[in-house]
């Protein structure tokens, strides 16, 4: 039983326009990328590490960048700017040749054009991109971190490590999307760039897609480029859906079995009670010929089964997803649950009527057949199925 069938059962109860995507589709995220201000110094090699594993714990990603610098000129100062989305700089670490470098928040608020993040991150399965707009909301402004270096001639190592918030997009189904982009465009303005090695660490078994393409090795995405490969490294990633697919198939099969199988059971019980009622006429027993209590009981049992398995089909699959990773921004589940709740009493009435009417029809058919086979006997059904008149003796 697919989702279309489940939705079809709820049409009566949920007819009318429904805002399925109420609320903001995405939030969070901040600008991260190469520094602005590198002049007259070559980057011999850059090693970029993006650790996304903390995202599974609702924490920020960890960015760790190692720059191999080469100054072919006399000692020169170097003033650099990095982007951050936090007013706190305690977690922003800069090491120059192994020595810590003090950092401060810059007074500037506007980010350079070269730091503009991509408009979207890639979609899964070759689908369209997913809108990405970090740092555009007042609650998540972009801050600039500044620091200065005094670079002697020769080779040097600059290490920068900080955390960055990852964007979340709730329109993914069944799992929300997480988005991150590392802006490379500022590197184009450097004196020289000798290549880039990238490693992106994913939470265990999480799916990911990137632009430009990176090679997956287990839960690590790797890439090596001789020059700046793109303006940004854009990443869309999400948790594994675990047993979601299995749970959704099982619960919908169970719901479908109860929803449609209940009709067969109602007709079967109706036939059984109808035959017993017909026999009760010949046995001159009124109690054994009563139909309505069985019809009422079947209707109630069918209604409870419909309600329970319906809610199970609505909520159990999401419960099988990793905690805090379910997607969807609307109220689809709420309306499906309301539809199940409203339809349950209707199922009870329908079950009663199917069982009761089937019982009466089968009873009449059996009595008619008995009269045809034994014309010397008479008999009639009186009341509403609760009382059966004894056959009349021939005059």
Q: Give residue-wise pLDDT tens across range 240-266.
A: 887 778 888 999 999 999 999 999 999
pLDDT score, position 318? 79
Q: Dihedral angle at the C-alpha atoms of 35, 41, 43, 44, nearest 10 degrees?
A: -170
Mean predicted confidence (pLDDT) in 328-334:
71
Mean predicted confidence (pLDDT) in 1-7:
38
Q: Is the pLDDT of residue 391 over 90?
A: no
Residues forming a β-bridge with 388: 381
pLDDT score, position 40? 77
Mean predicted confidence (pLDDT) in 65-71:
92
Has this prediction a pTM greater than 0.85? no
Q: Give residue-wise pLDDT tens across range 356-383.
A: 999 999 988 888 887 777 665 554 444 3
Q: Give residue-wise pLDDT tens across range 134-183.
A: 654 444 456 778 888 889 999 999 999 988 888 888 777 788 899 999 98
DSSP 294-338: HHHHHHHHHHHHHHHHHHHHHHHHHHTSPTT-B---S-HHHHHHH
pLDDT score, position 16? 31
Q: Is the pLDDT of residue 9 over 70?
A: no
pLDDT score, position 26? 53
pLDDT score, position 366? 86
CA–centroid distance for 237 within its chain: 12
Query: Picking from 73-82, 93-102, 309-318, which range would have the lowest pLDDT averaged per residue?
Result: 73-82
Q: What is the mean pLDDT of the chain?
A: 80
pLDDT score, position 211? 93
pLDDT score, position 285? 58
Please give the residue that has the higher pLDDT: either 363 or 108: 363
Using DSSP, state whether 118 is helix, strand or coil: coil
pLDDT tier, 345 (very low <50, low <70, confident <90, very high otherwise): very high
Question: CA triplet 355, 359, 360: central angle to 5 degrees?
Answer: 125
Of these ranges, 162-166, 288-292, 325-329, the one predicted with the greatest mean pLDDT is 162-166
Residues forming a β-bridge with 160: 65, 94
pLDDT tier, 6 (very low <50, low <70, confident <90, very high otherwise): very low
Q: Is the pLDDT of residue 297 over 90?
A: yes
Instruction: Give the start-to-end residue ranges of the domains of the chain.
Output: 31-238, 244-388
Please give the residue that has the higher pLDDT: either 306 or 394: 306
Using DSSP, state whether 358 is helix, strand or coil: helix
Percentage of residues in the chain having pLDDT higher than 70: 77
pLDDT score, position 20? 31
pLDDT score, position 289? 64
Q: Is the pLDDT of residue 311 over 70?
A: yes
Of these ranges, 241-245, 259-263, 325-329, 390-394, the one predicted with the greatest mean pLDDT is 259-263
**In a 10 Å sphere around its CB, with 0-12 CB exposed, 13-18 middle and 19+ buried, how is residue 301 labelled?**
middle
Give the domain 31-238 fold.
Answer: Immunoglobulin-like (2.60.40)
Mean predicted confidence (pLDDT) in 220-241:
92
pLDDT score, position 288? 58
Q: Give the Cα separation of 244 and 322 in Å (integer).
A: 9
Q: Is the pLDDT of residue 284 over 70?
A: no
Mean predicted confidence (pLDDT) in 41-50:
92
Using DSSP, state whether 395 is helix, strand or coil: coil
**Is-contact 48 132, C-beta < 8 A?**
no
Please give the residue that has the higher pLDDT: either 86 or 371: 371
Mean predicted confidence (pLDDT) in 6-20:
31
């Amino acid at each position: 039983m697919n989702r279309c069938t489940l939705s079809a059962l709820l049409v009566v109860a949920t007819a009318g326009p429904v805002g399925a995507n109420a609320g903001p589709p995405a939030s969070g995220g901040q600008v991260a990328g190469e520094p602005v201000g590198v002049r007259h110094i070559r980057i011999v090699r850059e090693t970029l590490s993006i650790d996304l594993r903390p995202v599974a714990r609702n924490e920020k990603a960890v960015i760790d960048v190692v720059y191999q610098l080469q100054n072919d000129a006399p000692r020169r100062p170097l003033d650099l700017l990095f982007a951050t989305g936090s007013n706190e700089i305690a977690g922003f670490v800069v090491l120059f040749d192994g020595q810590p470098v003090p950092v401060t928040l810059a007074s500037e608020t506007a980010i350079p054009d070269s730091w503009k993040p991509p408009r979207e991150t890639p979609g899964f399965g070759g689908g369209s991109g997913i809108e990405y707009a970090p740092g555009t909301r007042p609650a998540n402004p972009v801050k600039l971190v500044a620091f200065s270096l005094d670079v002697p001639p020769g080779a040097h190592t600059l290490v920068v490590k900080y955390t960055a918030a990852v964007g979340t997009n709730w329109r993914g189904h069944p799992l929300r999307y997480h988005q991150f982009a590392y802006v490379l465009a500022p590197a184009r303005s450097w004196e020289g760039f000798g290549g880039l090695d990238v490693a992106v660490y994913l939470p265990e078994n999480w799916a990911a897609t990137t632009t430009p393409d990176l090679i997956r090795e287990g839960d690590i995405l790797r890439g090596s480029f001789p020059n700046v490969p793109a303006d940004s490294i854009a990443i869309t990633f999400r948790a594994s859906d675990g047993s979601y697919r299995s749970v959704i198939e099982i619960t919908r099969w169970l719901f479908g079995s109860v929803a449609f199988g209940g009709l067969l059971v109602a007709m079967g019980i109706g036939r059984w009670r109808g035959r017993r009622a017909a026999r009760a006429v010949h046995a001159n027993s009124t109690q054994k010929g009563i139909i309505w209590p069985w019809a009422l009981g079947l209707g109630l049992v069918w209604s409870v089964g419909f309600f329970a398995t319906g809610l199970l089909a609505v909520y159990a699959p999401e419960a099988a997803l990793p905690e805090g990773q379910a997607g969807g921004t609307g109220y689809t589940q709420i309306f499906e649950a309301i539809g199940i709740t409203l339809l349950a009493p209707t199922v009870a009435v329908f079950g009663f009527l199917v069982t009761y009417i089937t019982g009466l029809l089968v009873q009449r058919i059996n009595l008619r057949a008995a009269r045809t086979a034994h014309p010397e006997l008479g008999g009639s059904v009186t009341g509403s199925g609760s009382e059966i008149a004894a056959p009349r003796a021939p005059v």
